[in-house]
């Protein structure tokens, strides 16, 4: 199993400091996000209003994080864990079944994309 990673880059540091608006601004300005957040440790953070479109959050760890209202439909979340995260109002990728999300929330399993 992949352990959560504390990255050392500016965009990840913004999210760890809960400066979501500044992260979104820099992302919109074209700052490279690919590979910057994969496997990241986002435990207990307030990430509401995050622009997650196109982000690679594979293997990320969101235990207890506040993710309410985030649109993850175009985000790669394979292998992420959502144990006890606040996920009300979130949109998830179609590849994630409701059962998979529920198991991750309840038991902390890492989500697996279902094959089509």
What does DSSP assign to residue 9? Answer: S
The predicted model gives 3-26 an average pLDDT of: 93
Q: pLDDT at position 39, please?
A: 94
pTM of structure: 0.92
> Is pLDDT of 1 > 60?
no
Closest CA to 51 of 96, 11, 88: 11
Spatial separation of the C-alpha atoms in residues 14 and 107, rounded to whole Å: 28
C-alpha 2/C-alpha 47 separation (Å) is 22
Structural domains of the chain in order of their starting residue, each with its CATH number? 1-116 (2.160.20)
* Whole-number Å distance between alpha carbons of 41 and 11: 13
Q: pLDDT digits over 16-60, tens only? A: 999 999 999 999 999 988 888 999 999 999 999 999 999 999 999
46-100 pLDDT, tens digit each: 999 999 999 999 999 999 999 999 999 999 999 999 999 999 999 999 999 999 9
């Amino acid at each position: 199993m992949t352990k959560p990673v504390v990255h050392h880059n500016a965009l990840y540091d913004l999210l760890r400091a809960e400066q979501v608006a500044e992260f979104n601004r820099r992302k919109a300005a074209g700052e490279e996000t690919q590979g910057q957040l994969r496997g990241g440790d986002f435990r207990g953070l307030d990430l509401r209003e995050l622009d997650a479109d196109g982000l690679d959050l594979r293997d990320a760890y969101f235990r207890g994080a506040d993710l309410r209202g985030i649109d993850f439909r175009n985000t790669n979340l394979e292998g992420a864990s959502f144990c006890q995260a606040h996920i009300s109002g979130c949109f998830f990728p179609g590849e994630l079944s409701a059962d998979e999300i529920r198991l991750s929330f309840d038991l902390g399993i890492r989500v697996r994309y279902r094959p089509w």
